[in-house]
């Protein structure tokens, strides 16, 4: 499969769409990103990489970071984790409060904001310095010691994070957050501010395509069983209330972020990432989703 030629064809084909969608200007630090940016990258499990566009340029990965915190929490709590968070698609917006009232403070899944806040609470209880623990893991997986939090974005998230603050206090009232809300939110806002490139992302998540082991070094990061669990939840919950549309069009487990990034996994084969800041109504990259749809169509590759 000539992945490089396919990526170049897709880059040319999506050009008329660049500029469509809306950047996440409700976080002011993200609103200044040029909507015309575009990048794609692939890493195969035989350790080959392909890319086009701004694939080495770092951007705010936002909710893609929830995979890292979920993986850490799953390693620590295992089966006990599911007493605090569910495994079902939400069917509502990523920052919705509605279901928490009916479901007594147990978020539907780890990838909506409420579920991610519970994950960060678990990390806060588990590690002496959870921010550094998370950052060390991401740097190791991406094989890039320069990966860091974007303090400007983290500050912007904190200043405009009233909905997340409300979610956290609401969950705490139900007894599903154990630490101080400000401490949990500080970790959450920094997690979302992680700045990575498309190439960083495919390297960092290559273990999800390789039965939990890093590609190249073959180091076990998570078990094969945990890898299956993460990928299954990415398939059903990774793109919020658009999971059905994403599965129909792309056919891969994936996770999006309002910074315009999407990472998707073909287990046993590759990880692919895309970045285009213009979002659709569900908060997923408009051009990125189309690019991934073109990729799986041209390569005839999906999990189905």
Residue 129 lies in a domain: yes
Residue 87 lies in a domain: yes
CA torsion through residues 293, 277, 146, 138, sign: negative
- ∠ CA 171-264-132, rounded to 5°: 55
The pLDDT of residue 240: 83
pLDDT tens-digit readout, 43-75: 999 999 999 999 999 999 999 999 999 999 999
Domain containing residue 72:
3-299
> In 3D, which of 210, 255, 216, 189 has the Cα closest to residue 27?
189
Q: Which long-range contacts (CB under 8 A, 24 or more apart) does 210-214 make?
A: 210/45, 210/268, 211/267, 211/268, 214/141
Cα of 245 vs its chain's centroid, Å? 17
Residue 150 lies in a domain: yes
The pLDDT of residue 241: 85
Residues 88-107: what's their mean pLDDT?
83
Of 63, 69, 256, 276, which residue is the catalytic one? 63
> In 3D, which of 217, 214, 264 has the Cα closest to residue 67?
264
147 is catalytic: no
202 is catalytic: no
Residue 304 lies in a domain: no
Cβ contacts of 190 within 8 Å, gap of 6 or more: 131, 149, 154
248 is catalytic: no
pLDDT tens-digit readout, 289-302: 999 999 999 999 99
Cα of 203 vs its chain's centroid, Å? 14
The pLDDT of residue 139: 98
Cβ contacts of 99 within 8 Å, gap of 6 or more: 90, 92, 107, 108
pLDDT confidence band for 90 (50 / 70 / 90): confident
Of 66, 172, 255, 290, which residue is the catalytic one? 66
* Helix, strand, coil % in the chain, rounded to nearest 5: 50, 10, 35
Of 65, 96, 153, 240, which residue is the catalytic one? 240
Q: Is the CB of residue 70 less than 8 Å from the CB of residue 110? A: yes
pLDDT tens-digit readout, 104-151: 999 999 999 999 999 999 999 999 999 999 999 999 999 999 999 999
CATH assignment of the domain containing 293: 3.40.710.10
Of 23, 138, 188, 206, which residue is the catalytic one? 188
The count of domains in the chain is 1
pLDDT confidence band for 42 (50 / 70 / 90): very high
66 is catalytic: yes
Residues 80-91: what's their mean pLDDT?
92
pLDDT at 94 over 80: no
The pLDDT of residue 8: 98
- CA 74, CA 112: separation in Å to the nearest integer? 16
The pLDDT of residue 294: 98
pLDDT confidence band for 95 (50 / 70 / 90): confident
125 is catalytic: no
């Amino acid at each position: 499969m000539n992945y490089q030629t396919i990526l170049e064809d897709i880059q040319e084909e999506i050009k008329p769409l660049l500029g469509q969608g809306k950047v996440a200007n409700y976080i002011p630090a993200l609103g200044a990103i040029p909507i015309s940016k575009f990048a794609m990258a692939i890493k195969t499990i035989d350790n080959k990489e392909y890319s086009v566009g701004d694939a080495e340029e770092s951007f705010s990965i936002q909710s893609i970071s929830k995979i890292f915190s979920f993986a850490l929490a799953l390693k620590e709590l295992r089966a006990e984790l599911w007493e605090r968070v569910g495994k079902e698609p939400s069917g509502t917006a990523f920052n919705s409060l509605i279901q928490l009232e009916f479901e007594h403070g147990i978020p539907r899944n780890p990838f909506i904001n409420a579920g991610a806040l519970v994950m960060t609470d678990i990390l806060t209880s588990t590690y002496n310095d959870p921010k550094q623990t998370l950052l060390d893991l991401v740097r190791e997986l991406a094989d890039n010691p320069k990966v860091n939090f974007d303090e400007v974005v983290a500050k912007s998230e904190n200043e405009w994070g009233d909905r997340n603050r409300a979610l956290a206090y609401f969950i705490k009232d139900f007894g599903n957050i154990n630490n101080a809300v400000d401490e949990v939110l500080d970790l959450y806002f920094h997690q979302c501010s992680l700045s990575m490139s498309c190439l960083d992302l495919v390297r960092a998540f290559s273990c999800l395509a390789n039965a939990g082991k890093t590609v190249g070094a073959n180091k076990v990061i998570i078990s094969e069983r945990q890898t299956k669990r993460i990928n299954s939840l990415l398939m059903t919950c990774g793109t919020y209330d658009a999971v059905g549309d994403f599965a129909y069009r792309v056919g891969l487990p994936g996770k999006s972020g309002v910074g315009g990034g999407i990472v998707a996994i073909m287990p046993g084969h590759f990880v692919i990432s895309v970045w285009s800041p213009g979002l659709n109504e569900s908060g997923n990259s408009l051009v990125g989703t189309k690019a991934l749809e073109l990729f799986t169509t041209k390569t005839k590759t999906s999990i189905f």
